[in-house]
Structure formats: structure tokens, C-alpha cells
Chains A and B, each alone.
Chain A
Amino acid sequence: MKRALCLFLLAVFALALLLGCGGDSENAATDSSANSVIAYVGSNIFDSSLDPIKGSMPYGYSFVTNALLRVTPEGSYVGDLAYSWTVSDDALTYTFDLLPDIMFSDGSNFTAHDVVFTYQTVIEHQAENEEVDLSRLAYVTALSDQVVEFVLSEPYSPFLDVTAMQGIVSADAYDSEAFDRYPIGTGPWVIAQYDPNQQIIVHRNHHYFGDAPHLDQVTLVAMDDTTALAAARSGQLDVVKVNPAYSFEDVAGMTMVPLQTMDVRLLSLPVLPLQEKEGMTVGNDVTADPAVRKALSIGIDRQTIIDNALNGIGHPAAGFSAKLPWADYIPVDDNRKDEAKEILAAAGWIENDDGIREKDGLLCSFDVYASEDRFALVAALAEDAAHLGIKIVPHSSNWGEIAEKMHTASIIWGWGQQSPTVLYSLFSGEAALTPGGWDNAPTYINPAVDAKINAALDARSQEEANKNWIAAQELAGKDFPYLYLVNIEHTYFVRDGLDISPATQVPHPHGHGVPVISNMKDWKRN
């Protein structure tokens, strides 16, 4: 009797489950005649301040403020608030000519003083801004209302990137607390309402100096990622960022739009054997063998890994995206299993009875720690690497544990930004062996690479800098301290009739889906 009842209730339970997943709601709550859009682009914009002085939208996808320069979808810099700029021969002085007649969203005028104020406030409060590094900026002055001059203490070629990322706020209106939610800038949008952890409602900025946005209002909502697909199905939203796992689901009235990013996923492979070095425990005996690192890079089948873990969304990558001017782009030529096996055999790694290679009793096996969202990717890699006789043990982890393991195990990272300073973080020997921070996880120390990196940082022109950045990557690439896997794509369900203008989307920097808002002013309803 009791059992029968249980079964009955469980059946009801199951039915409820099925009902819950099966249906598509017909009621499209959003009225397309109203010129507004409701979007879920990831909840992380709600986690921090919107004030650019405190590092909001650090990789340059702000919608409320403008920087002096901006990045085009092709990856080059053009003027935004500035219409022209010059760099002195000693690369210490940067002068920007600002566009006239620009107004902030509160109707006040934008001048060079606002630029000076913004940068000075960032320097004074560097502790509150973990994203922009102005430690080489000596001072900044307004030569006139329309001209601003930056003087560096040492040449620093990535400074140009800073000027393209740092949003400018109104000096007169600035209020540290209010700007966390209602920053006043020159951008196409102005924050109309900020409901913490719920929604940000933005309206068209009537004072915007560029082409006015097509939409009147956009609402960015917060939700749990697990409910995103349900949200799309409910018909209550117009844009929904989803995990690639959902990208082939049918959602009535919506179409899947994948967008390019400059975000790559790569594994750090410790290059030193396990040892104590300058008071830190670093290295891993298996990944220390260059043969293992090289065999992995040429032997794995990245496309299959992407098909398995990311539903086929994303592009195989053997280096940074070709869209970045400083990237040493390497076409992917992998899945060379036989060649990889030869390399391993020649290095003394012989398969044992379990199909795993061994060398002098050492099993060809290492741990990879992944944040939860990247676990599937590592699991797929592990499955493929097993064909080479390399046993990868994936662990899903948190950043606390990763910080502990980062120098002795392999870690999967996500990097993607316009600024080449990422290369310093990845490859510089100076950045290795610094406790705290996330730089140079493989403890890769190569003076030749360091020389190129320093030459790039100190370069007097972007061309010279990029040449050196590429040279540094070429040199380091020969040692395979990192195993590049994939240049990911972000996936969104977009309501039919809404155009999010993929042509004017910049390749998204790292940002878990939020960068889709970079061109919100070009979105329109057809």
C-alpha cells in the first residue's frame, strides 16, 4: 500500500518535471511595439560598481561612458572622445585633441578637465581600481579645453590601450557613491534605474554626440545561469545569454546568435621539475618534459574536444586570436597522433599495460584544475589525450584551490583582452615566482623572451611594440609552456525581429557574455 502510494506520488512528481520542461510558453510578454528590450547578458555586471574610476567595464565595452579612443571590430584604434592623438619620439608624452561640443548625459560640457580629473582620481584611488594600471603615468594636464597631455615616467607602449579602455566621467558631477550605480558619462546610454541584483534599466542619452540609439530603453536583468534557458522559453526576454550546451535548443520566437570573442582557453603546463625555488614549491615532473608538452599540442584533436565539450561552438586555437594586432597567430594543425606518439616514445615514455605511458616508473599523468564552468572542456581534453597515452586527471575547483596548485599542476585559464599586457602576465620571467597574483603559472623563465617583452613595453611605437610582442610569443611558443585549446564564442538567444547588429560587435573580450552590450546603440527592432 505504502509502496504503491509512493510510486503514485513519484509518478506525479515525474509528470510535473516533464510538464515543466516540455512546453514553450506562447505568451510573449514583451510588446515589440514598445521600443524597448529586456536582456540577460550574465549577472556579473551586478557584482561590481558601474563607476569606470573603480574599474567598471575594464576591457572597454562600456555603454554609459566613452574613452578617448575605441577599438573597431577589426581590432584597430580610432578616436572616440579624441579625434586625433600624437605620441612624442621619446614615447613619454601622449597628446590628445578632443572633439568639441560634447555633452555629458546631464547636459554639462565635456572638456579636457574631465579627462584630467578621471585619470587623477584613478591614480589617487588605485586601490579601488584593480583593472587599470597607471603606475607609469607621471602626470596628466589639460593644455586647453580641447587638448590633454599625458606624461609617462618611462615609455609604456600599452598606455594607448589604457586610453581606449578607461571611461571618462564628469568631473563636476562626480560622486563616488552615486556613480557606483548612476555614473554620468558621454555614452549613448544613461542609467535610468538600478535595482541591485535585479535589473539595470538604461534609457537613450539625448545628449549623445554620436548617432542616437535606435531603442528607447534596455533592461539588463540578473538571474541564475541555470534558469537562463527557462527564461528564454518563458518569452519574457528578448536577449538571453546561454551556455553553449543549450545552443541547439529550440526556443519559439528566438534565434541562436553566436558571437566572436578574443577569449581563449589555455592550460598552463609547469615547465620545471618539482622543486623548491625562492621559497616556493613549483614544477611538475611530468609536464616538465618538453616532449609531453609538445606532443599534447600537436597530438590532441581540438575540434573533437570543442564538439564534445562546447557543443561545437568555438574555434580551435594554437595561440591568440588573429584579430589582435599583437598576436602571433598560428594556424591549427593538430591531431597528428602518430607524430606525437613518436615524440613521446623518443623521449622514453613507453605505454604500459593500461595504455598509459611511463618513464622510469613515472606515470605520464598530471592534474588539471578547472573552475566549474571549464570542467567539461578539461574532461574532453582528458578523453582525447588518453589516445596519446597521457592521463590527464581533471578536477573541478575554485580559485582558492587553484591559487594553491597553480605552480605545481596544470590550470585552465581564460584570457582575452585588447591590451597585450596579458603576454607579460603569461610569459614574463619577472612575473614568475611572485607569491599572490596569477602571473606566469608555468614558472616559465626565459631571458630571451623577457628581453622581447621589455622591448615591447618600452617600445616607442605600436608597430615596434607589436613586432616585439610577436617575437616574444614565437620564442616562448617553441617551449610550449601553455596548451592553447579554443577561442570561444558567446551564444545568445535573440528574439526574432530584434537585430543586435553582429557586424558592429567587437570580438568580445573576457567578460562571460556581458560584452554583447558594447554596441547596444546599434540594436534595433525590424
Chain B
Amino acid sequence: MLRQKPRISLTPRSKGSTRLNTRTRLVIAVSVAATYLLGVFIWGWFLDPSSYAVHFESQFIPPSWGHIFGTDFMGRDMFFRSLKGLSNSMLIGLLASLISSAIALAFGTASALFGGKVDKLVLLAVDCCMGLPHLVLVILISVALGGGATGVMLGVALTHWPELTRIVRAEVLQLREAWYVKASYKMGKSRLYVAAKHIVPHVIPVYIVGLVLLFPHAIMHEAAVTFLGFGLPAETPAIGVILSEAMRHIATGKWWLALFPGLLLIVAVLLFDTIGENLKRLLNPASAHE
């Protein structure tokens, strides 16, 4: 019986052939993906509202050269509307990620580094927010804020930090026990120095994966609460709004209303994933010398 050749190597695993090649490839992939996403974001941001304005005389036009994504029941151009929608959703996702990640990084690191009362307090807050189903909490927050964009944004932002906090905290806790961190302390380095030099670089990859996962999540929550009737108002183009509107016309064969915005969303999520994966490898100290 043929057995697989044992794979033992003394160097950390490396998939690229030369050091420059792998890193360059990763950097290029990240740049391309980031450029696309940034492009969509900025184009959407500065888009003239008249490009997706209501024109009832051109209702339900299937995709054509004039309207490459077709038009909807109010005759709005779906290409521009989806573009603006994706841009708006990215804004919500990014804001939610930023707020969540800022809270998570601060809380997680503080909790793990200082321990004691700080840790207990952070854990209590985490448990409190994790103790409710996300959707219920998002609904509660967005109802409390009177719905609309602010409600959804804060609702999504304030429901995602606990998980990230736990991840960061756990990672830091593990690192704190690592021999090189202990050694660093023994060598008389300050907490801040250890945090900056040894802990944060190790946490970053996990943190970024968390962030990347958070992004589609944030958009999903926006879409979900909108579908249930608490979310963004219908005049605000956002992917959630567009998709829940499309649901009403899917049974009448207006497939383009759901398909293209859906594709845009999926492509964006895939690209975010690509960025996350590649960044992880770029930033991971273990693969830094590949």
C-alpha cells in the first residue's frame, strides 16, 4: 500500500516560491479588492440622486443598454440605486464595524491586561448584551431610537462588539501566558510596551477576521430589520431595503430586481473576505518572513 509521503519541513509552511512573489501577490490582491470597494463606496457617495430618481413612465424595464440592471416599480434605475445602496450599506457596515471594533479592542485588551474588577465589569457588559438574541436587541435599540438610519446603524453597531470583545480578550489572555510575553515582563518592559510590541500584533489577525465576518453580518442585520419593518425608510437606497422590496416582485417574474443587487452584495462580501484572508497572512508574524 502506498503511503503518502510524510510532509515534514523545518521552516514554517510557505506556499509561495519566493518571498517577494507571495507578498507582492497578496498586496496586489488586497489593493485590487480595496480599490474596487473604495471605488463603489466613493462613487455611491457622490452619486447624483437624480440618477436613481422616480420615473413612473419607465416602470419595470428589464435589463437593457439604457438600464443595465433594469428599473423597479417606480422606474428607478436599478444600477445606480444598487450602487448607492451598496455604498450606503457599506457605510452602515463600516460604521458598525468601526464602533464595534473600537469598543472591542479597548474593552478586550483592557479586560485581559488589567483583570480583576475591570475584567468583571467588561464581562458583565458582554454577557448582558449577548444575553439577548441579536435581532431582538437590534430591534429594541432601533425602536428606542425611533427607527430610521440612526436606529439601524447604532443597533447593528452596539450588538456586535461583545463577540469581538470576547475574541480579543481570549486571545490576549492566551498571549499573556506565552513564554515570550512573560520573558518580556521579566526583562522589565512596561505593560504598554508589551501590549504594543507583542500582544497587539498577535491579536490583529484574529481581530481582522472578526471584522471581516462582521461586515456581511452588519448588512444582514440591516436587511433583516428592514424586512421586518423597523429598518431604513424606503426612500433610502440600501441593500436591505432594495432586497426586501425586490421580494415583493419576485413572484411576478421581476428577477432582475433581486438578482443584481444580490450579486453586488455577494461580490462585495467575497472581496472583503479576500482582503481579510490576505491581510491575515500579511500581518501574521508567523508568516512575516515568508
Contacts and interface: CB of A to CB of B under 8 A. Distances in A.
On whether A and B touch (CB less than 8 Å), the answer reads: yes
Interface of A: 6, 10, 13-14, 17-18, 20-22, 225-227, 229-230, 233, 243, 245-246, 249, 308-309, 372, 375-376, 379-380, 382-383, 394-398, 400-401, 404
B249 to A, nearest CB: 8
B110 to A, nearest CB: 37
A226 B148 contact: no
Contact of A396 (B235, B249, B255, B259): B235
Interface string B247-259: 1111111110011
25 contacts: A6-B266, A10-B263, A17-B250, A17-B255, A17-B258, A18-B255, A21-B253, A225-B248, A226-B247, A227-B251, A230-B251, A233-B251, A243-B248, A245-B249, A245-B252, A308-B56, A308-B59, A379-B235, A383-B56, A395-B235, A396-B234, A396-B235, A398-B147, A401-B146, A401-B147
Nearest to B266: A10
Contact of B255 (A14, A375, A376, A395): A14
B235 A6 contact: no
Contacts of B55: 383
A227 B252 CA distance: 11
B29 to A, nearest CB: 11
Contacts of A376: 73-74
Nearest to A394: B235
B250 A382 contact: no
A13 B148 CA distance: 31
Interface of B: 54-56, 59, 73-74, 143, 146-148, 229-230, 233-235, 247-255, 258-259, 262-263, 266, 270
Q: Is the contact region of chain A dominated by helix, strand, or loop, or is it mixed?
A: helix
B46 to A, nearest CB: 19
Contacts of A14: 255, 259
A21 B234 CA distance: 24
Contacts of B258: 17
A308 B58 CA distance: 10
Given A6-B270, A398-B229, A229 B73 contact: no
Nearest to A378: B235
A229 B234 contact: no
Nearest to A397: B233
Nearest to A382: B54
A3 to B, nearest CB: 9
B54 A379 contact: yes
A21 B251 contact: yes
Given A6-B270, A395-B233, A396-B235, 18 more contacts: A10-B263, A14-B259, A17-B255, A21-B250, A22-B253, A229-B252, A233-B251, A246-B251, A308-B59, A376-B74, A379-B54, A379-B74, A380-B54, A394-B235, A397-B233, A398-B147, A400-B143, A401-B147
B55 to A, nearest CB: 8
A396 B56 contact: no
A21 B146 contact: no
B233 A245 contact: no
A212 to B, nearest CB: 37
B142 to A, nearest CB: 10
